[in-house]
Chain A
Amino acid sequence: MNLAAVFARAGVRVKASFRESSWVIGETVFPFLSMSAFVLVYRGLHAPKEYEGFVVLGGAMIAYWNNVIWGMASQFFWEREQGQLQLYLITPVSRMSILLGMALGGIAMTTTRAVAILVGGMLLFHVELPLSRALPAFGLFLLTLGAAYSLGMILSSLFLLWGREVWHTATILQEPVYLFSGFYFPVSAMGAVVAILGSILPVTLGLDGIRQIFYGKAAHGLLPLGWIPPIQIALTAIFLTIASVMLRYMENLGKHEGRLTMRGD
């Protein structure tokens, strides 16, 4: 039953991504323009060619982080605002399965944007990504997604509790994270302390590791590459445990206070 719920909820996202033509433009063309701006800045500064690769990889990873924030963390909040959170809460499936469905559907949807940025970067700007190292990079990418979407599950409970502040919370988790996660530059440039604090977010370390896989020492890695996969696995386990506890706490609090089904709390 939980597995069926995962696929059913994921299906909504996948269908949505193919049926909204405006979404294709909004999610692929516009982010590509932002990424292009940074590539041109580095080119104008005659920065090493690898920096253009950093930007393309960062642009692809941003798509997933935005999906964690807007498509997953805030989803239960929007469901409540639309008056249909209770339809999920009275079902016998686990809340984690619904969130997992959102995550998988979101990943499928976001991959379109990420691929557009990667392919567009390679074709238009001749950004070099050594494809011989694509397999280990893809492995680390999957571990990073696991940790990032597990964090999204925690945030979905918090967003529901914070209610109307959700817009501000999402914004706080968006623009500053672009900076502290080093989406457009090696995060080590921020200094060790800030960079390690930024590494609480799985996308920071994941991106750092993927850049190291592709560009070696030129990536100015923060941590040794060998450390990153176990850290991502540990973060996934920790975040999933916290998410499970948070979801139960959020639901119990809601049932005590009667807040789960009320709009605009």
Chain B
Amino acid sequence: MSAIQVRSLTRTFKARKRSGEVRALQGVDLIVERGECFGLLGPNGAGKSTLIKILTTLLLPTSGQALVTGYDVATEPFQVRRRINLVSGGDNSGYGVLTVRETLHLFSQFYGVPGPVARKRAEELMEVTGLAEKADQKLAALSTGMKQKLNFARGFMSDPEVIFLDEPTLGLDVEASRDVRGFVARWVRERPERTVLLTTHYMMEADELCGRVAIIDHGRILALDTPAALKRMLPEEPTFEFQVSATGEDLERLRGIVGLRSMSHHAHPATGAVELRIVVEEDDVIGEVLGRLKGLDRSVLHLTKTEPTLETVFMHHVGRGLSDEEAEERDGR
């Protein structure tokens, strides 16, 4: 029996600001086997969170069927809930007056975890997530990163058969993100029957953790395979990475160049330079790109030709990179 089976799943919402409806999911088919760490990649509004909410029984599908560990999320939600848990990056867990240890124990009780098992599990999770030193500190005194780690640990307190990780490293620093990724990798390795469904903005995270990845946009799955197979599937189109002293506005002028397949760019927060990634049909196109930049009186600080990555795969299918969105969010666009 598969961990997750989704058949022709659709979900529509009433549009808030205009008449009509928004189609968040449009006929999604998906099978995730037990023991998999499965990645779901997509831009904001692609339908990732809607899919996760349906699979975690928080939303009903408009049509189609979704089974989790063999149980229908619409008709057998309590059977599903016994076997799953959810960690959403940026969410709060618990109350300011409780300590870290008490919070983990609190949420374990909603899953019927026996007291001694819950205590032992809480100690282990606090150890691996770096919360052990804060075990008796109240949540009100924790930093945002620590709260996020606590939320992450909470999700594993019930030792779920399927865990849904929705942007679990959102807002975590580099070191904490690495710890979290290490924990997920170990959790899956040590419990071959457990399943992880991960959504993330960080391609490297999906590449590192996931055996298979689906790229979703506008409520449809555009590609689904192992990261290596997805990269192999790309047409052999050269990819170049630049560092340029230009503005995003300048770079948008490059979009008209014949032979330029796709492009993404974002400002490097530390240096102020813009990192530009382009996929071209042939190497020759790069000459035209350089010519345009020169015409705009912009300097190229660094230029490399790169091998395909998940980011390239994503750009190929979606038409732009996730880093574009992050830059837009940062710039308030």
A222 to B60, CA, bound (A): 49
- What is the interface residue range for chain B against chain A? 20 to 34
Query: B110 and A91: CB pair below 8 A?
Result: yes
Let me know if A217 is at the binding interface, CB within 8 A: no
Given contacts A7-B109, A84-B91, is CB(A89)–CB(B102) below 8 Å? no
Given contacts A5-B109, A258-B13, contact A90 B85 (CB under 8 A): yes
Which of A5, A84, A257 is most buried by chain B, counting CB atoms within 10 A of its CB?
A84
A48 within 8 Å of B (CB atoms)? no
User: For window 74-106 of chain A, which residues contact chain B by CB distance below 8 Å?
Assistant: 82-84, 86-93, 98
Residue B105 lies at the interface, judged by CB distance under 8 Å to chain A: yes
Interfacial chain A residues near B78, Cβ < 8 Å:
92
Tell me whether B57 is interfacial, beta carbon within 8 Å: yes
Chain B residue nearest to A85 (CB atoms) is B58
Q: Which residues of B contact A255 (CB under 8 A)?
A: 57-60
Contact count A vs B, C-beta below 8 Å: 84
A261 touches B53 (CB 8 A): yes
Selected from A8, A86, A261, the residue in CB contact (under 8 A) with B110 is A8
B58 interface neighbour in A4, A8, A20, A261, Cβ under 8 Å: A261
B window 54-93: CB within 8 A of A: 56-60, 78, 81-82, 84-86, 88, 90-93
Rounded to whole Å, the gap between the CB of A251 and the closest CB of chain B is 9
B110:A93 contact, CB within 8 angstroms: yes
B106 contacts A by Cβ under 8 Å: yes
Q: Does residue A37 face the partner (Cβ distance < 8 Å to B)?
A: no
Say yes or no: is A134 at the interface (Cβ < 8 Å to chain B). no
Q: How far is the CB of B315 from chain A (nearest CB, A)?
A: 30
Task: Count residues of chain A with CB under 8 A from any CB of chain B.
Answer: 31
Max count, chain B CB within 10 A of own CB: residue among A82, A92, A257: A92
C-alpha spacing A136/B123, complex, angstroms: 48
Give chain A nearest CB distance to B59 CB in angstroms. 5
B97 sits at the interface (CB 8 A): yes
B155 to chain A, nearest CB (A): 9
Check B53–A1 contact: CB distance below 8 A.
no
Is the beta-carbon distance between B60 and A15 smaller than 8 angstroms?
Answer: no
Let me know if A88 and B58 touch, CB within 8 A: no
* Contact present for A84 and B106 (CB under 8 Å): no
B residues whose Cβ falls under 8 Å from a Cβ of A: 13-14, 53, 56-60, 78, 81-82, 84-86, 88, 90-95, 97-98, 102, 105-107, 109-112, 138, 154
Question: Which 9 pairs, one residue from A and one from B, show the smallest C-beta to C-beta distance?
Answer: A1-B112, A8-B109, A91-B110, A92-B81, A92-B82, A16-B97, A4-B109, A255-B60, A19-B97
